[in-house]
A and B are shown apart, each in its own frame.
Chain A
Amino acid sequence: MASPDISSLKRDAAPPEPHVVPVRTYVIVFAALLSLAGLTTAVAFVNLGRFNTPIALAIAFVKMMLVLLVFMHLLYSTKLVRVVLFAGFFWLALLVGLVLIDYHSRSWIPDPAPWSSSAPPTHP
């Protein structure tokens, strides 16, 4: 090749500089995580009926996001890394979601015997 045309070379977004997170940030996030862990344990001892589980899961979600964004530097990562991680969670959601469709639609028709949560299995 005599003189390759390098004007056709594409330039991706420049990679972010390796970001050094300040100690203060880590300490604040750590304190938040400990508080949330305490909170979720304390809330479990309070009767909130059907809200106990969603609240516990919501707190867990917040803890996970704190660890992901700050400790695992996702805030300072490339778009590719975020897409990769999103794909992981999305695929897990596919697995759980589609399987749940099966289990929860089995009872929509009278036969075969429904997998209901209260009645114990009655087959011989």
Chain B
Amino acid sequence: MRNRRPALSEAYAPVSPVKEQMAHLLAHQFEDLEQQHETDTLGIWVFLVTEIMFFGGMFAAYTIYRSLYPVAFEAGSRALNVRLGAINTMVLLSSSFTMAMAVRSAQTARRKALTLFLVLTMLLGVLFLGIKGIEYHGEYFDRVVPSLNFAPQGEVLQRFTTGGLGRAELFMCFYFFMTGLHALHMIIGLSLLLVVLLRARCGVFSSQYYAPVEVMGLYWHFVDIIWIFLFPLLYLVGGRY
């Protein structure tokens, strides 16, 4: 229901005309830009809830197996590069900061700042994926990639065997599936950021109309939150002392 109570005459009069230059931004099913903005915002939050359940299914499976095989999961976790993982966490948190600043720039109608922060966010996102790629390469080199070349050597093999080789491979499955799915969401996010960036450069956004930037921000922060949990759950299992 609309949040304003319309006067009787207002209800039967045509809706107060939106400013000429804004008219093309208002979709026909909405009464005004405020309703459109609220609707877009609610829409992205509902979508994020579906993403919680989507990733959540894998988190649930992970939780089950971790509670069943703690030793194997610890061993698997130690095979990961915690240094690069920590750096990546900082990178992603920084990109969340720049994204929040981008939304703020849109709200305050600062086009140049908006463009700058969007570009920074994208660069940090690309950096994250690059570091991830380096990690994956390292894991391939260490031969801990399930199905592809799972044949760990030396110290890694010793640690894996303590908890059960199969179960350590199970952990590695989770590692690749969960970070892979996360990386896929990052790639989608980068593509969407590009679209928002191009629109921003054309000067489409203003303090009255910045919903797409806000929606983009919410998605990006959500992907960051997923990583906030992936990092300790995958890289820091049981401690690294």
Contacts and interface: CB of A to CB of B under 8 A. Distances in A.
B82 A41 contact: yes
A102 to B, nearest CB: 9
A67 B96 contact: yes
A91 interface: yes
Given A52-B238, A63-B228, A88 B221 contact: no
A88 B64 contact: no
A41 B86 CA distance: 7
A81 interface: yes
B100 interface: yes
Contacts of B239: 44-48, 52
B217 A71 contact: yes
Interface in B81-95: 82, 86, 89-90, 93-94
A63 B1 CA distance: 35
B82 to A, nearest CB: 7
B25 interface: no
A91 B5 contact: no
Interface string B202-241: 0000000000001001100110110011011001111111
Given A6-B8, A34-B93, A84-B46, 18 more contacts: A3-B8, A11-B3, A11-B4, A23-B104, A29-B97, A40-B232, A44-B236, A47-B239, A53-B238, A56-B232, A57-B232, A59-B232, A60-B231, A67-B225, A71-B97, A81-B45, A85-B49, A104-B67
6 contacts: A15-B34, A44-B239, A44-B241, A72-B218, A85-B48, A96-B59
